Amino acid sequence: DAGVTQSPTHLIKTRGQHVTLRCSPISGHKSVSWYQQVLGQGPQFIFQYYEKEERGRGNFPDRFSARQFPNYSSELNVNALLLGDSALYLCASATRGLAGYNEQFFGPGTRLTVL
């Protein structure tokens, strides 16, 4: 079975632009979570979606938004990019429920560079 997949692998944008990152969970997983990992730091929680509804949100500005589709894939959108948004964006899927209470399976991430 395929693991969690993310696209694109790498992305370079300039300040002020918008970006969309995509994630496909493991087949049968209904929960998708997004994390931002700045180089040298631990992942920071951005969003969790379960059964197409937002179930949790971390301390990120409204420039960050996400959604989950009927096939449980997900998109993370970031508007008005700042230099500080440069990071590895990780997607994780789980079979159910609240992120952190179940084993999460992480994708390889999308490396976003903002110039």
Residue in 8, 16, 61, 108 binding another protein, rule: CB under 8 A: 108
Six-digit token string for 19: 């970006």
Strand partners, 66: 76
Query: In the bound complex, what is the minimum distance in angstroms from residue 37's beta carbon to another protein?
Result: 9
44 binds another protein (CB under 8 A): yes
Q: Quote the distance between the C-alpha of residue 44 and its chain's center.
A: 10
The size of the interface with another protein (CB under 8 A), counted in residues, is 25
25 binds another protein (CB under 8 A): no
43 binds another protein (CB under 8 A): yes
Strand partners, 74: 23, 68
Q: What share of the chain is helix, strand, coil (3-state, %, to 5)?
A: 5, 50, 50
Q: x-or-dash pattern for another protein, window 57-76, by CB under 8 A?
A: xxx-----------------
Q: Which of residues 85-104 bind another protein (CB under 8 A)?
A: 90, 92, 98-101, 103-104
C-alpha torsion sign, points 28, 89, 70, 97? positive
CA angle centred on 14, ends 80 and 24, rounded to 5°: 70
Query: In the bound complex, what is the minimum distance in angstroms from residue 63's beta carbon to another protein?
Result: 17
Residues that bind another protein (CB under 8 A): 4, 41-45, 48, 55-59, 90, 92, 98-101, 103-109
